Amino acid sequence: MSDIFLIEDEQNLADFVIRGLTKEGHSVDHAARGDVGLERALRCRYDALIVDRMLPGLDGLSLVKALRAKQCAVPVLFLSNLGELDDRVLGLNAGGDDYLPKPFGFSELLARVNALLRRPAVSVEQIVLRLGELEVHLVKREVKRCGQDIDLKPREFTLLEYLMRHANQVVTRTMLLEGVWGYHFDPKTNIVETHISRLRARIGSDMIQTVRGSGYMIHAPRTDA
């Protein structure tokens, strides 16, 4: 059983989610205001948060940004009537882990919540991802290599974070399209290749390897003894 905190002001929807998650064996707390939700999320320890984008008191984006600024790394699933690509990117860049547009079926909500719960817990120390001489600070959204600052655009940062979380593993084009851009289909463009090329130019081409026929892998370059 997991402890889940739902922050949602639509009472009928909240009742629907609480009822379904409770039947699945989860314990669910609920708040209808963003400011109240932030206070309780910082005070209590939850396994996952489900946060509506549009909330009274404090909107969902600001709520999650405030949590991340306090180094609270609990997984967050955004719910929103705003389902366009740019809206999903805003949610992910604010510190969300997943984004589910309304309306949705409970089976999809449950699958996404379970996926978040299966992720390894992120400690405060893991707020900074390190690979060799490369550092990615998830809260400050800063990137450094050999102590030198690297300026990345928001989508480049999201792409790098995804690669770093899968360091030394091959990630496919499909994985990147879904995990970075939120596409559940192939747009038949070179969007992935273009952003990989830009990212290589910024962090160094020696860190991102193309695995022919499979995808990409980020790794620490070998150093000669």
225 falls within a domain: no
Instruction: Tell me which of 88, 118, 148 is where a domain ends.
Output: 118
57: DSSP letter: S
Question: What b/e sequence results for 54-83 when a residue is b if at least 16 CB atoms lie within 10 Å of its CB, and e otherwise?
Answer: ebebbbbbebbbbbbeeebbbbbbbbbeee
100 plus 138 within the same structural domain: no
Instruction: Clarify whether residues 105 and 16 are in a common domain.
Output: yes
The tens-digit pLDDT sequence of the chain (225 residues) is: 789 999 999 999 999 999 999 999 999 999 999 999 999 998 768 899 999 999 999 999 999 999 888 878 889 999 988 766 677 777 888 888 888 988 899 999 999 999 888 876 554 445 788 999 999 988 778 999 999 999 999 899 999 999 998 999 999 999 999 888 888 778 888 999 999 999 999 999 999 999 998 999 999 987 654
Give the per-residue pLDDT at 118. 82
Q: Are 17 and 23 in contact (CB under 8 A)?
A: no
| CATH code of the domain in which 94 resides | 3.40.50.2300
Q: How many domains does the chain have?
A: 2
Residues 48/23, Cβ–Cβ less than 8 Å:
no
**CA–CA separation, 197 vs 188, rounded Å?**
17
- Determine the pLDDT at residue 124: 45
- Write down the residue that tokens 């609990």 correspond to: 74
Q: Where in the sequence is the domain holding 165, given as residue range(s)? A: 125-218
Distance from first CA to last CA of the chain, Å, rounded? Answer: 49
User: Same structural domain for residues 49 and 141?
Assistant: no
pTM of the model: 0.57
Which pLDDT value is given to residue 92? 80
Final residue belonging to a domain, choices 89, 118, 147: 118
List Cβ neighbours of 158 (8 Å cut-off, separation of 6 or more): 89, 92, 93, 180
Question: Are both 39 and 107 inside the same structural domain?
Answer: yes
